[in-house]
A and B are shown apart, each in its own frame.
Chain A
Amino acid sequence: MMKEPFIHTKDLCYSYSDENGLQQPVLRGITLDIAKGEYVAILGHNGSGKSTLAKLFNMILEPDSGELFVAGQDLTSPTLTEDDFYALRRQVGMVFQNPDNQLVATIVEDDVAFGPENLGVPSAEIRARVDAALATVGMTSYARHEPHRLSGGQKQRVAIAGILAMEPNCIILDEATAMLDPSGRKEVIETVEALNREKGITVLSITHYMNEAARADRVIVIDDGVVIMDGTPREVFADPARLLAAGLDVPQCTSLVHALRAEGVALEGDPVTVEECADLICRALEVI
Protein backbone atom coordinates (compact mmCIF):
# COMPACT_ATOMS: atom_id res chain seq x y z
CA MET A 1 0.00 0.00 0.00
CA MET A 2 1.45 3.37 -0.93
CA LYS A 3 1.55 5.97 1.82
CA GLU A 4 0.03 9.43 1.37
CA PRO A 5 -0.67 9.44 -2.37
CA PHE A 6 -0.05 12.82 -4.02
CA ILE A 7 -3.16 12.32 -6.11
CA HIS A 8 -6.07 10.14 -5.00
CA THR A 9 -9.28 9.59 -6.92
CA LYS A 10 -12.19 7.25 -6.31
CA ASP A 11 -15.12 6.77 -8.70
CA LEU A 12 -14.34 10.14 -10.24
CA CYS A 13 -16.93 11.21 -12.83
CA TYR A 14 -17.18 14.15 -15.17
CA SER A 15 -19.52 14.99 -18.03
CA TYR A 16 -19.72 17.79 -20.56
CA SER A 17 -23.07 19.16 -21.61
CA ASP A 18 -23.43 19.14 -25.38
CA GLU A 19 -25.12 21.76 -27.58
CA ASN A 20 -28.56 20.26 -26.83
CA GLY A 21 -27.97 20.50 -23.09
CA LEU A 22 -27.51 16.73 -22.77
CA GLN A 23 -24.88 15.39 -20.40
CA GLN A 24 -22.12 13.51 -22.22
CA PRO A 25 -20.12 11.46 -19.73
CA VAL A 26 -16.35 11.69 -20.32
CA LEU A 27 -15.02 10.12 -17.13
CA ARG A 28 -17.11 7.25 -15.74
CA GLY A 29 -15.56 6.36 -12.42
CA ILE A 30 -11.78 6.75 -12.31
CA THR A 31 -10.09 5.24 -9.28
CA LEU A 32 -6.34 5.64 -8.90
CA ASP A 33 -3.57 6.72 -6.56
CA ILE A 34 -0.41 8.44 -7.72
CA ALA A 35 2.46 8.60 -5.26
CA LYS A 36 4.75 11.57 -4.74
CA GLY A 37 7.73 11.39 -7.09
CA GLU A 38 6.19 8.91 -9.55
CA TYR A 39 6.68 9.26 -13.32
CA VAL A 40 3.40 8.18 -14.89
CA ALA A 41 2.43 8.06 -18.55
CA ILE A 42 -1.26 8.27 -19.39
CA LEU A 43 -2.32 6.70 -22.69
CA GLY A 44 -5.66 6.74 -24.45
CA HIS A 45 -7.01 7.57 -27.89
CA ASN A 46 -8.38 11.04 -28.72
CA GLY A 47 -11.60 11.51 -26.78
CA SER A 48 -10.83 8.80 -24.20
CA GLY A 49 -10.97 11.35 -21.36
CA LYS A 50 -7.29 11.58 -20.48
CA SER A 51 -6.97 15.36 -20.93
CA THR A 52 -10.18 15.92 -18.98
CA LEU A 53 -8.66 13.93 -16.13
CA ALA A 54 -5.55 16.11 -16.17
CA LYS A 55 -7.71 19.24 -16.06
CA LEU A 56 -9.48 17.94 -12.95
CA PHE A 57 -6.12 17.47 -11.22
CA ASN A 58 -5.38 21.19 -11.20
CA MET A 59 -8.95 22.43 -10.95
CA ILE A 60 -9.38 23.75 -14.46
CA LEU A 61 -12.51 21.56 -14.33
CA GLU A 62 -14.58 20.47 -11.34
CA PRO A 63 -15.72 16.85 -10.97
CA ASP A 64 -19.42 15.87 -10.97
CA SER A 65 -18.99 13.17 -8.35
CA GLY A 66 -16.42 10.92 -6.70
CA GLU A 67 -13.40 11.59 -4.52
CA LEU A 68 -10.50 13.77 -5.62
CA PHE A 69 -7.57 14.64 -3.37
CA VAL A 70 -4.49 16.44 -4.66
CA ALA A 71 -1.58 17.24 -2.33
CA GLY A 72 -3.70 16.35 0.67
CA GLN A 73 -6.44 18.82 -0.33
CA ASP A 74 -10.01 17.58 -0.86
CA LEU A 75 -10.94 19.22 -4.17
CA THR A 76 -14.61 18.36 -3.80
CA SER A 77 -14.92 20.12 -0.45
CA PRO A 78 -17.56 22.89 -0.54
CA THR A 79 -15.40 25.04 1.75
CA LEU A 80 -12.61 25.30 -0.82
CA THR A 81 -11.73 28.95 -1.42
CA GLU A 82 -10.24 30.74 -4.40
CA ASP A 83 -6.96 30.95 -2.50
CA ASP A 84 -6.95 27.17 -2.23
CA PHE A 85 -7.29 26.94 -6.04
CA TYR A 86 -4.32 29.22 -6.55
CA ALA A 87 -2.27 27.30 -4.01
CA LEU A 88 -3.11 24.08 -5.82
CA ARG A 89 -2.26 25.41 -9.27
CA ARG A 90 1.08 26.57 -7.94
CA GLN A 91 1.77 22.98 -6.91
CA VAL A 92 0.47 21.31 -10.06
CA GLY A 93 1.78 22.94 -13.23
CA MET A 94 0.53 22.08 -16.70
CA VAL A 95 2.35 22.18 -20.03
CA PHE A 96 0.01 22.16 -23.01
CA GLN A 97 0.36 20.90 -26.56
CA ASN A 98 0.89 24.06 -28.57
CA PRO A 99 4.24 25.75 -27.86
CA ASP A 100 2.97 28.96 -29.47
CA ASN A 101 0.11 29.76 -27.17
CA GLN A 102 1.43 29.44 -23.65
CA LEU A 103 4.18 32.06 -23.59
CA VAL A 104 2.94 35.55 -22.70
CA ALA A 105 5.93 37.87 -22.39
CA THR A 106 8.23 39.43 -25.00
CA ILE A 107 11.44 38.11 -23.51
CA VAL A 108 12.13 34.67 -22.09
CA GLU A 109 13.05 35.67 -18.52
CA ASP A 110 9.91 37.84 -18.16
CA ASP A 111 7.84 34.88 -19.21
CA VAL A 112 9.41 32.66 -16.58
CA ALA A 113 8.89 35.41 -13.97
CA PHE A 114 5.18 35.74 -14.77
CA GLY A 115 4.06 32.98 -12.38
CA PRO A 116 6.04 33.97 -9.28
CA GLU A 117 5.15 37.67 -9.87
CA ASN A 118 1.48 36.75 -9.73
CA LEU A 119 2.09 34.84 -6.52
CA GLY A 120 3.54 38.00 -4.95
CA VAL A 121 7.04 36.60 -4.53
CA PRO A 122 9.56 39.38 -3.55
CA SER A 123 11.55 40.56 -6.56
CA ALA A 124 15.01 39.43 -5.37
CA GLU A 125 13.57 35.98 -4.85
CA ILE A 126 11.94 36.07 -8.31
CA ARG A 127 15.34 36.84 -9.85
CA ALA A 128 16.87 33.83 -8.09
CA ARG A 129 14.00 31.53 -9.05
CA VAL A 130 14.02 32.58 -12.72
CA ASP A 131 17.77 32.05 -12.99
CA ALA A 132 17.54 28.67 -11.32
CA ALA A 133 14.59 27.56 -13.44
CA LEU A 134 16.27 28.57 -16.71
CA ALA A 135 19.45 26.79 -15.66
CA THR A 136 17.49 23.63 -14.86
CA VAL A 137 15.94 23.47 -18.34
CA GLY A 138 19.21 24.49 -20.02
CA MET A 139 17.95 27.84 -21.34
CA THR A 140 20.13 30.29 -19.39
CA SER A 141 21.82 31.64 -22.49
CA TYR A 142 18.40 32.47 -23.98
CA ALA A 143 17.19 34.50 -20.96
CA ARG A 144 17.01 37.74 -22.94
CA HIS A 145 15.82 36.24 -26.24
CA GLU A 146 12.40 36.73 -27.77
CA PRO A 147 10.26 33.61 -27.27
CA HIS A 148 8.88 33.64 -30.83
CA ARG A 149 12.36 33.12 -32.26
CA LEU A 150 12.90 29.90 -30.30
CA SER A 151 12.35 26.38 -31.64
CA GLY A 152 9.32 24.39 -30.48
CA GLY A 153 11.36 22.31 -28.04
CA GLN A 154 12.96 25.45 -26.59
CA LYS A 155 9.53 27.10 -26.16
CA GLN A 156 8.25 24.09 -24.26
CA ARG A 157 11.34 24.16 -22.04
CA VAL A 158 10.65 27.83 -21.30
CA ALA A 159 7.05 26.90 -20.43
CA ILE A 160 8.42 24.25 -18.06
CA ALA A 161 10.80 26.83 -16.52
CA GLY A 162 7.78 29.07 -15.91
CA ILE A 163 6.21 26.26 -13.92
CA LEU A 164 9.44 25.50 -12.05
CA ALA A 165 9.68 29.12 -10.94
CA MET A 166 6.48 28.49 -8.95
CA GLU A 167 8.21 25.57 -7.18
CA PRO A 168 5.65 22.89 -8.01
CA ASN A 169 5.42 19.34 -6.68
CA CYS A 170 3.90 17.99 -9.86
CA ILE A 171 4.08 18.70 -13.59
CA ILE A 172 1.41 17.49 -16.00
CA LEU A 173 2.34 17.36 -19.68
CA ASP A 174 -0.78 17.31 -21.85
CA GLU A 175 0.67 16.00 -25.12
CA ALA A 176 3.42 18.56 -24.67
CA THR A 177 5.62 16.87 -27.28
CA ALA A 178 2.95 16.28 -29.94
CA MET A 179 3.82 19.34 -32.03
CA LEU A 180 7.60 18.96 -31.74
CA ASP A 181 10.09 17.34 -34.07
CA PRO A 182 12.10 14.35 -32.80
CA SER A 183 14.96 16.44 -31.44
CA GLY A 184 12.56 18.88 -29.71
CA ARG A 185 10.68 15.94 -28.25
CA LYS A 186 13.91 14.50 -26.90
CA GLU A 187 14.87 17.85 -25.28
CA VAL A 188 11.56 18.07 -23.45
CA ILE A 189 11.46 14.43 -22.33
CA GLU A 190 15.01 14.53 -21.03
CA THR A 191 14.32 17.78 -19.17
CA VAL A 192 11.23 16.34 -17.51
CA GLU A 193 12.91 13.05 -16.65
CA ALA A 194 15.77 14.91 -14.97
CA LEU A 195 13.27 16.93 -12.89
CA ASN A 196 11.63 13.71 -11.79
CA ARG A 197 14.91 11.98 -10.96
CA GLU A 198 16.84 14.84 -9.41
CA LYS A 199 14.14 16.98 -7.79
CA GLY A 200 11.58 14.29 -7.04
CA ILE A 201 8.87 16.16 -8.96
CA THR A 202 5.84 13.99 -9.74
CA VAL A 203 5.36 13.79 -13.52
CA LEU A 204 2.17 12.88 -15.35
CA SER A 205 2.73 12.66 -19.08
CA ILE A 206 -0.24 12.35 -21.39
CA THR A 207 1.09 11.12 -24.71
CA HIS A 208 0.40 9.29 -27.96
CA TYR A 209 3.99 8.16 -28.31
CA MET A 210 4.37 4.59 -27.09
CA ASN A 211 8.16 4.93 -27.01
CA GLU A 212 7.79 7.83 -24.57
CA ALA A 213 5.40 5.90 -22.37
CA ALA A 214 7.87 3.01 -22.28
CA ARG A 215 10.30 5.26 -20.36
CA ALA A 216 7.89 6.01 -17.48
CA ASP A 217 7.73 4.11 -14.15
CA ARG A 218 4.07 3.39 -14.68
CA VAL A 219 1.58 3.44 -17.55
CA ILE A 220 -2.14 4.07 -17.09
CA VAL A 221 -4.42 3.36 -20.06
CA ILE A 222 -7.77 5.13 -20.23
CA ASP A 223 -10.52 4.05 -22.61
CA ASP A 224 -14.05 5.38 -22.70
CA GLY A 225 -13.65 7.20 -19.40
CA VAL A 226 -12.34 4.31 -17.29
CA VAL A 227 -8.89 2.97 -16.41
CA ILE A 228 -8.48 -0.26 -18.40
CA MET A 229 -4.82 -0.99 -17.67
CA ASP A 230 -2.42 0.20 -14.96
CA GLY A 231 1.07 -1.17 -14.42
CA THR A 232 4.71 -0.93 -15.38
CA PRO A 233 5.38 -0.37 -19.12
CA ARG A 234 6.42 -4.02 -19.31
CA GLU A 235 3.13 -5.22 -17.84
CA VAL A 236 0.99 -2.94 -19.99
CA PHE A 237 2.79 -3.56 -23.30
CA ALA A 238 2.66 -7.32 -22.67
CA ASP A 239 -0.92 -7.22 -23.93
CA PRO A 240 -0.78 -5.73 -27.45
CA ALA A 241 -4.23 -7.00 -28.42
CA ARG A 242 -5.87 -5.02 -25.64
CA LEU A 243 -3.94 -1.86 -26.50
CA LEU A 244 -4.83 -2.14 -30.19
CA ALA A 245 -8.49 -2.57 -29.26
CA ALA A 246 -8.21 0.70 -27.30
CA GLY A 247 -6.93 2.46 -30.45
CA LEU A 248 -3.32 2.43 -29.26
CA ASP A 249 -0.12 0.73 -30.28
CA VAL A 250 2.88 -1.00 -28.73
CA PRO A 251 6.57 -0.18 -29.35
CA GLN A 252 7.90 -2.00 -32.45
CA CYS A 253 10.35 -4.01 -30.31
CA THR A 254 7.47 -5.37 -28.26
CA SER A 255 5.57 -6.32 -31.45
CA LEU A 256 8.66 -8.11 -32.75
CA VAL A 257 9.02 -10.27 -29.65
CA HIS A 258 5.34 -11.15 -29.79
CA ALA A 259 5.59 -12.01 -33.50
CA LEU A 260 8.62 -14.27 -32.92
CA ARG A 261 6.96 -15.96 -30.00
CA ALA A 262 3.85 -16.58 -32.08
CA GLU A 263 6.08 -18.44 -34.53
CA GLY A 264 7.35 -20.68 -31.78
CA VAL A 265 10.64 -18.94 -30.88
CA ALA A 266 11.20 -19.32 -27.14
CA LEU A 267 11.81 -15.80 -25.80
CA GLU A 268 11.39 -15.01 -22.11
CA GLY A 269 10.25 -11.57 -20.99
CA ASP A 270 8.57 -8.53 -22.48
CA PRO A 271 11.13 -5.94 -23.54
CA VAL A 272 9.88 -2.41 -24.17
CA THR A 273 13.09 -0.63 -25.15
CA VAL A 274 15.63 -1.28 -27.92
CA GLU A 275 18.34 -2.14 -25.39
CA GLU A 276 16.22 -4.67 -23.53
CA CYS A 277 15.10 -6.24 -26.78
CA ALA A 278 18.68 -6.50 -28.13
CA ASP A 279 19.81 -8.11 -24.86
CA LEU A 280 16.97 -10.60 -24.97
CA ILE A 281 17.62 -11.64 -28.57
CA CYS A 282 21.38 -11.87 -28.06
CA ARG A 283 20.89 -14.01 -24.97
CA ALA A 284 18.52 -16.30 -26.81
CA LEU A 285 20.93 -16.60 -29.74
CA GLU A 286 23.82 -17.04 -27.32
CA VAL A 287 25.76 -14.21 -28.92
CA ILE A 288 26.81 -12.28 -25.82
Chain B
Amino acid sequence: MAVLTLEHVSYIYGEGTPFEIRALDDVSLSVREGTVTGIIGHTGSGKSTMVQLFNGLEKPTAGRVLLDGKDIWAEPKKMRDIRFRVGLVMQYPEYQLFEETIRADIAFGPRNMGLTEEEISRRTKEAAAFVGLEEALLDRSPFELSGGQKRRAAIAGIMAMRPEILVLDEPAAGLDPRGRDAILEGIRAYGKETGSTVIIVSHSMEDMAAYCDDIVVMAQAKVCLSGTRDEVFANAKRLTDVGLDVPQITHLMMKLRARGVAVPEGIYTVEAASAALRKLFGKGHTV
Protein backbone atom coordinates (compact mmCIF):
# COMPACT_ATOMS: atom_id res chain seq x y z
CA MET B 1 0.00 0.00 0.00
CA ALA B 2 1.20 3.48 -0.80
CA VAL B 3 2.09 5.46 2.29
CA LEU B 4 3.42 8.52 0.51
CA THR B 5 2.20 9.74 -2.86
CA LEU B 6 3.10 12.63 -5.13
CA GLU B 7 0.27 13.59 -7.50
CA HIS B 8 1.30 15.66 -10.52
CA VAL B 9 3.76 17.62 -8.44
CA SER B 10 5.74 20.50 -9.92
CA TYR B 11 8.15 22.75 -8.10
CA ILE B 12 9.61 25.92 -9.54
CA TYR B 13 12.37 27.95 -7.91
CA GLY B 14 12.27 31.70 -8.49
CA GLU B 15 9.00 31.60 -10.43
CA GLY B 16 8.52 34.70 -12.56
CA THR B 17 12.15 35.80 -12.26
CA PRO B 18 14.92 35.41 -14.88
CA PHE B 19 16.39 32.68 -12.63
CA GLU B 20 13.29 30.49 -12.82
CA ILE B 21 14.18 26.79 -12.57
CA ARG B 22 11.69 23.96 -12.85
CA ALA B 23 13.11 21.49 -10.31
CA LEU B 24 10.20 19.03 -10.55
CA ASP B 25 7.97 18.77 -13.57
CA ASP B 26 4.62 17.01 -13.16
CA VAL B 27 5.97 14.17 -11.04
CA SER B 28 3.69 11.38 -9.84
CA LEU B 29 4.93 8.50 -7.73
CA SER B 30 4.01 6.40 -4.73
CA VAL B 31 6.20 4.88 -2.07
CA ARG B 32 5.07 1.48 -0.76
CA GLU B 33 4.64 1.12 2.98
CA GLY B 34 7.42 -0.73 4.80
CA THR B 35 9.87 -0.68 1.91
CA VAL B 36 13.33 0.78 1.61
CA THR B 37 12.95 2.99 -1.45
CA GLY B 38 15.94 4.54 -3.18
CA ILE B 39 15.88 7.78 -5.15
CA ILE B 40 18.74 8.22 -7.58
CA GLY B 41 19.60 10.82 -10.20
CA HIS B 42 22.16 13.40 -11.24
CA THR B 43 22.84 16.56 -9.29
CA GLY B 44 20.08 18.94 -10.34
CA SER B 45 17.65 16.16 -11.27
CA GLY B 46 15.26 17.22 -8.50
CA LYS B 47 16.01 14.61 -5.81
CA SER B 48 16.73 16.96 -2.95
CA THR B 49 13.77 19.20 -3.80
CA MET B 50 11.59 16.10 -3.76
CA VAL B 51 12.64 15.03 -0.26
CA GLN B 52 11.94 18.52 1.04
CA LEU B 53 8.40 18.20 -0.29
CA PHE B 54 7.92 14.93 1.59
CA ASN B 55 7.81 16.61 5.00
CA GLY B 56 6.49 19.99 3.98
CA LEU B 57 9.73 21.97 4.07
CA GLU B 58 8.76 23.12 0.60
CA LYS B 59 5.27 23.50 -0.81
CA PRO B 60 4.64 22.22 -4.33
CA THR B 61 3.99 24.91 -6.94
CA ALA B 62 1.35 22.56 -8.34
CA GLY B 63 0.03 19.12 -7.40
CA ARG B 64 -0.43 17.37 -4.06
CA VAL B 65 1.70 15.46 -1.55
CA LEU B 66 -0.35 12.75 0.18
CA LEU B 67 0.58 11.06 3.43
CA ASP B 68 -1.68 8.05 4.09
CA GLY B 69 -3.98 9.45 1.43
CA LYS B 70 -4.28 12.92 3.05
CA ASP B 71 -2.92 16.12 1.52
CA ILE B 72 -0.21 17.31 3.93
CA TRP B 73 -1.03 20.93 3.05
CA ALA B 74 -4.76 20.52 3.81
CA GLU B 75 -4.20 21.96 7.29
CA PRO B 76 -0.91 23.89 7.27
CA LYS B 77 -1.19 24.46 11.05
CA LYS B 78 -0.69 20.74 11.59
CA MET B 79 2.57 20.69 9.67
CA ARG B 80 4.49 20.16 12.91
CA ASP B 81 2.85 16.75 13.27
CA ILE B 82 3.70 15.87 9.68
CA ARG B 83 7.37 16.61 10.45
CA PHE B 84 7.29 14.20 13.38
CA ARG B 85 5.77 11.54 11.13
CA VAL B 86 8.17 12.12 8.23
CA GLY B 87 11.70 12.48 9.61
CA LEU B 88 14.24 14.08 7.30
CA VAL B 89 18.00 13.57 7.66
CA MET B 90 19.72 16.17 5.47
CA GLN B 91 23.07 15.81 3.70
CA TYR B 92 26.09 15.92 6.02
CA PRO B 93 23.88 16.02 9.13
CA GLU B 94 26.96 15.79 11.38
CA TYR B 95 27.36 19.56 10.92
CA GLN B 96 24.02 20.07 12.66
CA LEU B 97 24.87 18.62 16.08
CA PHE B 98 24.67 21.37 18.67
CA GLU B 99 24.10 19.91 22.14
CA GLU B 100 26.80 19.37 24.76
CA THR B 101 26.55 15.61 24.68
CA ILE B 102 25.55 13.06 22.08
CA ARG B 103 22.80 11.83 24.41
CA ALA B 104 21.27 15.32 24.68
CA ASP B 105 21.46 15.76 20.94
CA ILE B 106 19.65 12.53 20.18
CA ALA B 107 17.04 13.38 22.86
CA PHE B 108 16.31 16.82 21.39
CA GLY B 109 13.66 15.61 18.92
CA PRO B 110 11.73 13.32 21.29
CA ARG B 111 11.80 16.08 23.96
CA ASN B 112 10.22 18.51 21.49
CA MET B 113 7.48 15.95 20.94
CA GLY B 114 6.58 16.32 24.62
CA LEU B 115 7.35 12.72 25.59
CA THR B 116 8.03 11.66 29.19
CA GLU B 117 11.63 11.56 30.41
CA GLU B 118 11.42 7.81 30.67
CA GLU B 119 10.24 7.46 27.09
CA ILE B 120 12.88 9.94 25.88
CA SER B 121 15.61 7.94 27.55
CA ARG B 122 14.29 4.68 26.12
CA ARG B 123 14.11 6.06 22.60
CA THR B 124 17.55 7.63 22.82
CA LYS B 125 19.08 4.29 23.74
CA GLU B 126 17.10 2.46 21.10
CA ALA B 127 18.11 4.91 18.34
CA ALA B 128 21.77 4.80 19.40
CA ALA B 129 21.62 1.01 19.18
CA PHE B 130 20.18 1.11 15.64
CA VAL B 131 23.14 3.12 14.38
CA GLY B 132 25.68 1.17 16.43
CA LEU B 133 26.76 3.94 18.83
CA GLU B 134 28.01 2.42 22.07
CA GLU B 135 26.48 3.55 25.36
CA ALA B 136 29.89 4.83 26.53
CA LEU B 137 30.00 7.37 23.69
CA LEU B 138 26.66 8.95 24.54
CA ASP B 139 27.98 11.20 27.28
CA ARG B 140 30.79 12.56 25.17
CA SER B 141 30.77 15.89 23.41
CA PRO B 142 30.18 15.75 19.64
CA PHE B 143 33.65 17.32 19.29
CA GLU B 144 35.26 14.15 20.61
CA LEU B 145 33.70 11.89 17.99
CA SER B 146 34.94 10.97 14.54
CA GLY B 147 33.06 12.16 11.47
CA GLY B 148 31.42 8.76 11.00
CA GLN B 149 30.29 8.62 14.64
CA LYS B 150 28.83 12.14 14.43
CA ARG B 151 26.94 11.14 11.28
CA ARG B 152 25.43 8.20 13.20
CA ALA B 153 24.48 10.41 16.12
CA ALA B 154 22.69 12.83 13.81
CA ILE B 155 20.75 10.01 12.16
CA ALA B 156 19.87 8.58 15.59
CA GLY B 157 18.44 11.98 16.53
CA ILE B 158 15.81 11.60 13.82
CA MET B 159 15.23 7.88 14.48
CA ALA B 160 14.51 8.71 18.14
CA MET B 161 11.37 10.54 17.00
CA ARG B 162 10.35 7.17 15.54
CA PRO B 163 9.06 8.64 12.25
CA GLU B 164 6.76 6.44 10.16
CA ILE B 165 8.81 7.52 7.18
CA LEU B 166 12.54 8.07 7.57
CA VAL B 167 14.00 10.08 4.70
CA LEU B 168 17.78 10.34 4.32
CA ASP B 169 19.62 12.49 1.80
CA GLU B 170 22.97 10.82 0.97
CA PRO B 171 23.43 9.13 4.36
CA ALA B 172 26.65 7.32 3.37
CA ALA B 173 28.41 10.07 1.39
CA GLY B 174 32.13 10.30 2.12
CA LEU B 175 32.31 7.26 4.42
CA ASP B 176 34.74 4.38 4.05
CA PRO B 177 33.30 0.98 2.99
CA ARG B 178 32.92 -0.33 6.54
CA GLY B 179 31.32 2.89 7.80
CA ARG B 180 29.01 2.99 4.80
CA ASP B 181 27.79 -0.57 5.38
CA ALA B 182 27.34 0.01 9.11
CA ILE B 183 25.13 3.06 8.53
CA LEU B 184 23.07 1.50 5.76
CA GLU B 185 22.58 -1.71 7.80
CA GLY B 186 21.42 0.40 10.74
CA ILE B 187 18.94 2.27 8.59
CA ARG B 188 17.57 -0.95 7.15
CA ALA B 189 17.27 -2.41 10.67
CA TYR B 190 15.28 0.65 11.77
CA GLY B 191 12.80 0.08 8.94
CA LYS B 192 12.45 -3.63 9.61
CA GLU B 193 12.11 -3.47 13.38
CA THR B 194 9.77 -0.50 13.61
CA GLY B 195 7.81 -1.32 10.44
CA SER B 196 8.63 2.16 9.12
CA THR B 197 9.18 3.11 5.52
CA VAL B 198 12.67 4.29 4.59
CA ILE B 199 13.55 6.56 1.67
CA ILE B 200 17.23 6.93 0.76
CA VAL B 201 18.59 9.45 -1.73
CA SER B 202 21.93 8.34 -3.13
CA HIS B 203 24.37 8.66 -6.00
CA SER B 204 25.62 5.14 -5.51
CA MET B 205 23.92 2.53 -7.66
CA GLU B 206 25.91 -0.16 -5.84
CA ASP B 207 24.39 0.91 -2.50
CA MET B 208 20.92 1.04 -4.07
CA ALA B 209 21.38 -2.47 -5.45
CA ALA B 210 22.45 -3.75 -2.04
CA TYR B 211 19.89 -2.05 0.22
CA CYS B 212 16.73 -0.94 -1.59
CA ASP B 213 13.49 -2.82 -2.41
CA ASP B 214 12.20 -0.17 -4.80
CA ILE B 215 14.11 2.40 -6.85
CA VAL B 216 13.00 5.71 -8.37
CA VAL B 217 15.29 7.16 -11.03
CA MET B 218 15.08 10.91 -11.58
CA ALA B 219 16.29 12.71 -14.70
CA GLN B 220 15.68 16.31 -15.70
CA ALA B 221 12.98 17.01 -13.11
CA LYS B 222 10.96 13.92 -14.03
CA VAL B 223 10.77 10.30 -12.96
CA CYS B 224 12.52 8.43 -15.75
CA LEU B 225 12.22 4.92 -14.31
CA SER B 226 10.69 3.39 -11.20
CA GLY B 227 9.76 0.02 -9.83
CA THR B 228 11.22 -2.82 -7.82
CA ARG B 229 14.97 -3.24 -7.83
CA ASP B 230 14.70 -6.13 -10.33
CA GLU B 231 12.48 -4.10 -12.65
CA VAL B 232 14.81 -1.12 -12.62
CA PHE B 233 18.00 -3.10 -13.20
CA ALA B 234 16.32 -5.04 -16.01
CA ASN B 235 16.47 -1.62 -17.75
CA ALA B 236 20.16 -1.08 -17.10
CA LYS B 237 20.64 0.23 -20.63
CA ARG B 238 18.15 3.03 -19.96
CA LEU B 239 20.12 4.02 -16.84
CA THR B 240 23.37 4.32 -18.76
CA ASP B 241 21.55 6.20 -21.54
CA VAL B 242 20.63 8.99 -19.10
CA GLY B 243 24.26 9.02 -17.98
CA LEU B 244 23.78 7.29 -14.62
CA ASP B 245 26.16 4.79 -13.17
CA VAL B 246 25.15 1.17 -12.92
CA PRO B 247 26.90 -1.15 -10.45
CA GLN B 248 30.27 -2.29 -11.84
CA ILE B 249 28.97 -5.87 -11.99
CA THR B 250 25.93 -4.81 -14.09
CA HIS B 251 28.29 -2.94 -16.39
CA LEU B 252 30.37 -6.12 -16.78
CA MET B 253 27.28 -8.22 -17.58
CA MET B 254 26.22 -5.71 -20.27
CA LYS B 255 29.70 -5.90 -21.80
CA LEU B 256 29.67 -9.69 -21.79
CA ARG B 257 26.25 -9.78 -23.43
CA ALA B 258 27.46 -7.41 -26.13
CA ARG B 259 30.29 -9.84 -26.81
CA GLY B 260 27.91 -12.77 -27.19
CA VAL B 261 28.06 -14.32 -23.71
CA ALA B 262 24.58 -15.58 -22.80
CA VAL B 263 24.15 -13.99 -19.36
CA PRO B 264 20.66 -12.76 -18.42
CA GLU B 265 19.70 -9.08 -18.04
CA GLY B 266 19.00 -7.47 -14.71
CA ILE B 267 21.98 -8.75 -12.73
CA TYR B 268 23.16 -6.33 -10.05
CA THR B 269 24.96 -8.41 -7.42
CA VAL B 270 28.23 -10.34 -7.47
CA GLU B 271 26.36 -13.45 -6.22
CA ALA B 272 23.86 -13.42 -9.10
CA ALA B 273 26.63 -12.78 -11.63
CA SER B 274 28.68 -15.61 -10.24
CA ALA B 275 25.71 -18.00 -10.37
CA ALA B 276 24.88 -17.04 -13.96
CA LEU B 277 28.45 -17.48 -15.15
CA ARG B 278 28.91 -20.70 -13.22
CA LYS B 279 26.20 -22.26 -15.39
CA LEU B 280 28.01 -21.22 -18.57
CA PHE B 281 31.32 -22.70 -17.55
CA GLY B 282 30.99 -26.34 -18.57
CA LYS B 283 32.98 -29.18 -17.06
CA GLY B 284 35.85 -28.44 -19.44
CA HIS B 285 36.48 -25.15 -17.69
CA THR B 286 36.54 -26.39 -14.13
CA VAL B 287 39.45 -27.88 -12.31
Contact = CB atoms under 8 A, between A and B. Distances in A.
A184 B43 contact: yes
Given A45-B176, A208-B175, A253-B249, A287 B286 contact: no
A282 B285 CA distance: 12
A46 B252 contact: no
Contacts of B146: 46-47
A175 B179 CA distance: 15
A217 interface: no
Contacts of A249: 177
A139 to B, nearest CB: 17
A207 to B, nearest CB: 10
B210 to A, nearest CB: 11
A255 B270 contact: yes
Given A46-B179, A265-B286, A278-B259, A182 B245 contact: yes
B68 to A, nearest CB: 33
Contacts of B244: 182
Given A45-B179, A263-B278, A266-B285, A178 B173 contact: yes
Interface of B: 42-44, 144, 146-148, 173-180, 203, 206, 243-245, 247-249, 251-252, 255-256, 259-261, 270-271, 273-274, 277-278, 280-281, 285-287
Considering the complex of A and B, which 7 residue pairs feature the smallest CB-CB distances, nearest first?
A247-B178, A249-B177, A178-B174, A259-B274, A252-B249, A252-B248, A45-B176
Interface of A: 19, 44-47, 97, 151-152, 175, 178-179, 181-184, 208, 210-211, 247-249, 251-253, 255-256, 259-260, 263-266, 274-275, 277-278, 281-282, 284-285, 287
Contact of B286 (A183, A252, A264, A275): A264
A263 B285 CA distance: 11
Contacts of A251: 248
Contacts of B261: 281-282, 285, 287
B249 A281 contact: no
A285 B175 contact: no
A274 B255 contact: yes
Contacts of B280: 285
Given A46-B175, A183-B243, A260-B274, A282 B43 contact: no
Contacts of B271: 259
Given A181-B203, A266-B285, A252 B247 contact: yes
Contacts of B178: 45, 247-248
Contacts of A259: 270-271, 274
Nearest to B247: A252
A27 B177 CA distance: 21
A281 B259 CA distance: 11
Contacts of A178: 173-174
Nearest to A265: B281
B174 A97 contact: yes
Contacts of A175: 174
Contacts of A252: 206, 247-249, 252, 270
Nearest to A186: B245
A183 B260 CA distance: 29
Nearest to B274: A259
Nearest to B273: A256
21 contacts: A45-B176, A45-B179, A46-B175, A175-B174, A182-B245, A208-B176, A208-B180, A247-B179, A252-B206, A255-B270, A260-B274, A265-B278, A265-B285, A265-B286, A275-B255, A277-B252, A278-B255, A284-B281, A285-B280, A285-B281, A287-B261
A93 B216 CA distance: 40
B203 A248 contact: no
A45 B175 CA distance: 8
Given A253-B252, A259-B274, A281-B256, A181 B176 contact: no
B237 to A, nearest CB: 15
A183 B42 contact: yes
Contacts of A253: 248-249, 252
